Amino acid sequence: MAELIDRDDVEVLEHTVADELTAMSEAWRWFEDLVGLKGRKMFARIDETAGTYTVCTPRKPGDSYDLTVGVLPGGRYRRVVLEGEPPELYGRIGPAMEELKAVGPWDSSRPLVEFYRRHTVVELWVPIT
pLDDT at 56: 98
Tell me the pLDDT tens digit for each residue of 49-87: 999 999 999 999 999 999 999 999 999 999 999 999 999
pTM (2 d.p.)? 0.96
DSSP readout, 83-94? E--TTHHHHTHH
Q: Which CATH architecture has domain 3-128?
A: Alpha-Beta Barrel (3.20)
Confidence class for position 1, pLDDT limits 50, 70, 90: confident
CA distance 32 to 54: 13
The 10s digit of each residue's pLDDT in 34-45 is: 999 999 999 999
Separation CA 92–CA 82 (nearest Å): 8
